[in-house]
Amino acid sequence: MQAKLEAVIFDWAGTIVDFGSFAPTQIFVDAFRLAFGFELSLEEARAPMGLGKWQHIEALGRDPQIAQRWRAQFGRAMSNEDIDHIYQTFLPLQAERVAAHADLIPGALEVVDNLRRRGLKIGSTTGYPRQVMEKLCQLAAANGYAPDCVVCADDLPAGSRPGPWMALQCVQNLAIGAVSHCVKVDDTAPGIAEGRNAGMWTVGVTLSGSPAGWTLQDFRAALPQAQARMRAQVGAQLRAAGAHELIDTVADLLPALARIEQRLAAGERP
C-alpha cells in the first residue's frame, strides 16, 4: 500500500468552529449554577475540555478545590446522581446556545476544500452528545462544512476520549486502509491522546482552542510576544499529550500535513 495520508479527523469546538471554545465552557458554569446553585469559574470549567460532557462534569467534581467547595456547601462528595442532574441541565442549554458559537474558524473551509481536492476523507469526533451535534452539524453545513463522518461522545458504549474509540469508529466509517494514514487535529490534551491511542498522527491547535481561551478578537489583537507566550504554554500541554505537530489555528494545517507526509514517506509511523 502506498504510504500517503488518507484522512484527517477534526475535533469541533476550538478546532473547526467556535474560536476559543466558548459554547461548552460557559454552559458548564451555568449548568452547575442552575442545577445546584454552585459556582464555578470559567477557568475551572475549561480544565477537563475534550472529554465527553458527562465525564467532564465528573472530572470537575473530582478536582480537589472544586470537591472541597462542594463538600463544604453540601456536606458530601458529588455523586453520580448529582452528575446526572447537572448533565440533564446542561443538555438543553447547550442545544439552545450552540448556534451562538457555530461560526467556522477563519481558514477552516479553505483547508478542508484543499484536502478534499487532494482526495482525503474528512472525519470528525466530538465531546458533544448527538443531541447537540445534530443542530451544530446543520449550522456548519449551512456555512459550507459537512464532514464525511461525525462520531459523538455518546455514540459508543466503550466511551469517549482519551480512549481511541471515536477516532477508530471514523476509520471504520470512512473505510481507511491504515490507521497510520490518518491525522487527528484537536485543541485539547484528551483529543490529542485520543488520536495517539488510536495509532494516528496528531496535530495540536494552540491558539484557537479551549486552553488558550481567546476570542477571535483577542487573537487578532494579541501582540507577537503575547501570542508566543500562549503558544508555548498551550503547546507544552499538547506536546505532553503526544502531539506530533503544533499549529496556531486550523488555517495553518497544510504545512504540518506536508511534514507528516514526508515522515510517512520516509517510513516513520506515529
- Are 122 and 267 in contact by the 8 Å Cβ rule? The answer is no
SS3 at position 201: strand
Three-class SS state of 246: strand
* DSSP secondary structure of 16-65: TBSTT-HHHHHHHHHHHHHHH-----HHHHHTTBTB-HHHHHHHHHHSHH
What does the alpha-carbon distance between residue 66 and residue 86 come to, in Å, rounded to a whole number? 15
> Which residue carries 487527528 as its cell?
184
| Closest among 259, 265, 268, 206 to 237, alpha carbons compared | 206
CA distance 265 to 180: 12
What CA–CA distances, in Å, run from 170 to 16, 198, 239?
Answer: 17, 11, 23
The residues annotated as belonging to the active site are: 11, 53
Counting Cα atoms < 13 Å in the Cβ hemisphere of 97 gives 17
The H or E element containing residue 126 is: strand 121-126
Residue whose entry in the numeric block shows the C-alpha cell 514526508: 262
Distance, in Å, from the CA atom of 163 to the CA atom of 241, rounded to the nearest integer, reads 13
Give the span between the Cα atoms of 48 and 35, in whole angstroms: 19
